[in-house]
A and B are shown apart, each in its own frame.
Chain A
Amino acid sequence: MSTPAHLTPADFAPAVMERHVHAISRPSLSYWQDAVRRLRANWRAMTSLGVVIGLCIFAVAGPWIWQVDPAAQDVDQISQGPSLPATALIVEPGTAWAGVTKEPTASGDVVANLRLAEPATTQTVRLTWEPVVGATGYVVYRSIYDPAPDRALGLPLGDSLGANRVSYEDRLDLKPQRYWYSVVVLDANGAEQQAYETFSVDVVRAASIEEAQARGWTTQDAALTVGTQLTLPFHPLGTDYLGRDMLARLIYGARVSLFIGVVAPILFVLIGIVYGSIAGFVGGRLDQVLMRFAEFVIALPFLLFMILFKIAFGIGPGESGVIPMLVALVILDWPPTARLVRGQILQIRQEGYVSASQLLGAKTGYLVFRHMIPNTLGVILVTLTFAVPSAIFTEAFLSFIGMGVAPPTPSWGSMANDGIRTMLSHPHELIFPAVLISIAVLAFNLLGDGLRDALDVRMRGRE
């Protein structure tokens, strides 16, 4: 055994304390400063942030810019698509129509001379025709297409029973467009004949002065004369199933939906994080008890407990239950997040850097907040962003069964739910709220991605 020649006893002397060995020439960046810097550099996240702020402004400032009552119904303009303002003819107030009776003289299996008894308006279309001997009645059909050549008569509107009752008044959902009316004779057995008489009618939008006022087309004192054209209120995004302005409803709906859609997920995800980290970090018996409790909450029948919460909060009929709904959502929805966070924590707890940190004497709080939570952030943010649309639609479902916001208060979720039914015939009623929900969710997702990247410790200094 020989001593290595190049080592001298001096080499074993304690080193002299040296300060400022590696002087940092630039101002140091803290974790948070760096995160903000990286977030700022992420154009997708910044755009999303802009969109989120824009949506909030839309919800808060919208009513001042678009001063239309979201609850005002216009039954003359139901389910109208986005369009330029229409006009309506002012007519005399409608009077009841006794109809036409005429004794039949001609026989045959089809009526003759089907015609309008009065000019056709969206108020009423009054038809009359020549009677047929031996008929027991007449059935009137209406279509928006020509029934020829294959006898596609369209919708059966109604019947006029008796050979001499040769008129029909149609008031059903008349739109200013062309209709084909067809009349079919009922024979002695009450069976419909194959032959039919048809003619087309161009319907004009019209209203009486009283109706124009009732629909809110004009103010009470504005002078109106019969025979003039009145320009109807503008509905840039169309109207819903009760003729309410879509834009106004979207603006007011944003308040409820954004509130529920943002606050509820944030709250229950927070609860989930705390709960999950405690369970995961402490482990052992406490972990087991906590997790069994989480499973217990997941398995509770959601609808039943929502009803129970509503009663417990004493929400009366017609009262808005946004806060109780929020509380109930938070109480019932946290366990999946908690389970997820716990799983992540269990995994991270075994990582080398955690053990190292622990060896170096890090306290529990430090470990959890400095190492564990930031490392589970990605998963947490995914859960958070997915909880946004689910909260929005849960609100809509609960409102539908009378447990959320009280009508006529709109929300995006309930507007989308209402629009689903008319998805094919009036797509705008679904598309507009769905697009807004998508934009909001997309913005939150990209913002979440940006945040995740920005907060990712391992990505410091990159990108």
Chain B
Amino acid sequence: MLAYTFKRLIQGVITVWFIATATFFAMHAVPGDPLANERATTEAIRKNLEARYGLDRPVTEQYVLFLGNMMRGDFGISFTQENRRVNDIIRESFPVSATLGILAVAFAAFGGVVWGALTAIYRNRLPDLVITFLVILGISVPGFVVAALGQLALVDINAWLGFSLLPIAGWGSIRHMIVPSMVLGLGTMAYLTRLMRSSMLEITNSDFIRTARAKGLPPTRIFLKHQLRNAILPVITVLGPSIAAITTGGFVVELVFAIPGLGRSFVQSVQQLDYTVIMGTTVFYGAFLVFMVIVVDLLYGLIDPRVRLE
């Protein structure tokens, strides 16, 4: 187990290095000038800026420098927020995104497992059809609409109650977290619901369930110990990358609910061609993703004894 974890971590570092390298060269291959702005500046200023960000050196040399800095955990200074370090940006906004992401994934996972199992039990009967219909509606409507409608409903609820039950937007307390995390988790929940339903159905017909039933195990035990435990595996497979994707991909929700998360920095950095922030967020995100995948794989081994960690 320990050796396996160690091996995976080593592999993870190599994966992150590949991600960093590919992104670095892709970024430099994309046309556009990170230093250009609406207002033209003098040659002297341009030279100074290039020197400040090391853009005056050949790309390969910049790459070597970048790698060296990355080893030390330093991503440099942002191009757009010129007196802030990328590390500070990540350090300040990642906890917010992570909070939102973890809650969203928790919401999605529990909701998905429960709804999915329900639809499987009531297969092709009314509850199944209703939930399936809602799920389809949920994924066919863009996230922006869900976020906006969620917020609108909140305004009306607050107005109806005559006091602020939950804040409309912003960040800071538990009350701020509830609606955005649910909105953010909705899409994943819909997906997990369907995934759970499907894998439940497969499990229900398998031999070991039949055996369990035949040997007279109480239905509760069969359901929890055999069906659910087995059916949940694909959900867990999806969960790892989902946590990472939701944590950094909450751009829309962050915008609508005015949440100071990393998603905004991530999207804006590409639009603004903010080299250092692109690299910082991508490497950080890559490392986070790889880490989550490792965690999920370890979990996998714990939940399903058949999957040997080798």
Contact = CB atoms under 8 A, between A and B. Distances in A.
A–B direct touch in complex (beta carbons closer than 8 A): yes
A386 B19 contact: no
A389 B140 contact: yes
B243 interface: no
Contacts of B15: 292, 295-296, 299
Contact of A344 (B31, B137, B234): B234
Contacts of B293: 295
B277 to A, nearest CB: 11
B70 to A, nearest CB: 15
A304 B23 contact: yes
Interface stretch (B81-89, B167-175, B198-206): B198-206
B51 to A, nearest CB: 25
A301 B29 contact: no
A239 interface: no
What band does the interface of chain B fall in when counting residues whose beta carbon is under 8 Å from A? Answer: 35 or more
B205 A347 contact: no
Contacts of A445: 132, 136, 194
B310 interface: yes
Nearest to A353: B207
Given A292-B11, A420-B144, A301 B136 contact: no
A430 B19 CA distance: 38
A380 B278 CA distance: 33
B195 A379 contact: yes
B71 interface: no
Interface string B4-29: 00000001001110110011001101
Contacts of B190: 386
Contact of B198 (A382, A423, A434, A438): A382
B48 interface: no
Interface in B159-203: 190-191, 194-195, 197-199, 201-202
Interface string B261-298: 00000110011000000100110011001100100000
Interface stretch (B58-66, B103-111, B219-227, B299-307): B299-307
B141 A386 contact: no
Contact of A343 (B18, B26, B300): B300
6 contacts: A292-B11, A339-B237, A378-B198, A382-B195, A382-B197, A438-B136
Given A386-B194, A445-B194, 6 more contacts: A295-B290, A295-B293, A301-B278, A347-B230, A442-B140, A459-B205
Interface of B: 11, 14-16, 18-19, 22-23, 26-27, 29-31, 132-133, 136-137, 139-142, 144-145, 148, 152, 190-191, 194-195, 197-199, 201-202, 205-207, 230, 233-234, 237-238, 241, 244-245, 266-267, 270-271, 278, 281-282, 285-286, 289-290, 293, 300, 304, 306-307, 310
For the complex of A and B, list the 7 residue pairs with the smallest distance between their C-beta atoms, beginning with the closest. Answer: A378-B198, A299-B286, A438-B140, A343-B237, A350-B306, A458-B205, A382-B194
